[in-house]
Amino acid sequence: MSTVGSVGISELQAAIRNVPDFPKPGIQFKDITPVLGDARLFRGLVHHLTSGFEPGSVDAIAGIDARGFIFGGAMAIELNAAFVPIRKQGKLPYRTHEARYDLEYGSTTIAIHVDAVRPGSKVILIDDVLATGGTAAAAMELLKRLGAEVLGAVFFIELEFLKGREKLRGVPVRSLVAY
C-alpha cells in the first residue's frame, strides 16, 4: 500500500542528503536525488508541491534549469497545466528574453522563449532550492516581461538564512522544508 497522503514533510526532509563542500568548500549541497529515487516519496513530494492549487486554475508551471524541470513536469501533469522551461543562456533554440543576475563571483544569465506564455497567463514558478533568491528573482522578471500573472513561487527547500524570499516580494512564496 502506498498512498500519497501518507508521505509527511518530515519523511521528505529525512530523505534530503546533505553533501558538505559541494560544489566548492563551504557549500552544503542539498541533494534531492534520494527523494527522486523513491517512487512513493517522489509522488508524495509532487503532491505537496501542488497542494493549494486546483487543476484548471493554473495555466503553466515554469521550471528553473535543471532540477526545477523534474518537479515542474510532474506538477504540470498533476495540475493539467503547460510546462515552461527557464534555461541557462544559449540552450533554448528559439528567440528568447534574457535576464542577467549576480552570483557570489561574477554573473550569469537565464532565458525564456518569447512565446512561452501568453500575457495574463497564470503561472507557478518552481525550483528545488531557494538560496540567495537571485535565480528565482531573475526568473520572475522573465515571466513578468511576458505579461504572466505569477500565482506563486514554490520550492522544496528554502535556506532561510540567505533571505532569498526578500528578493521575491509581491509574490506568494512557499517552501516545504526550511533550514
104 catalytic residue (yes or no):
yes
Residue 6 CA to residue 69 CA, distance in Å, equals 25
- 34: enclosing H helix or E strand: helix 33-36
Residue 166 CA to residue 173 CA, distance in Å, equals 10
* Closest alpha carbon to 135 in 92, 171, 168: 168
Site string for ligand AMP, 145-174 (x = CB under 6 A): -------------------x----------
Judged by CB, which is closer to ligand AMP: 49, or 136?
136
Site string for ligand AMP, 94-133 (x = CB under 6 A): ---------------------------------xxxxxxx
Contact 47, 7 (CB under 8 A): yes
The answer to whether residue 67 forms part of the interface with ligand AMP (CB under 6 A) is yes
β-pair partners for 122? 149
**Which of 11, 17, 54, 67 is labelled catalytic?**
67
Q: What letter represents residue 114's amino acid?
A: V
Give the shortest CB-167-to-ligand AMP separation in angstroms. 8
Contact 44, 30 (CB under 8 A): no
**Which of 54, 95, 104, 169 is labelled catalytic?**
104
Judged by DSSP in three states, 83 sits in strand
How many amino acids of this chain bind ligand AMP (CB under 6 A)? 17
Judged by CB, which is closer to ligand AMP: 102, or 120?
102
Active centre residues (catalytic): 67, 104
Residues that bind ligand AMP (CB under 6 A): 27-30, 64, 67, 127-136, 164
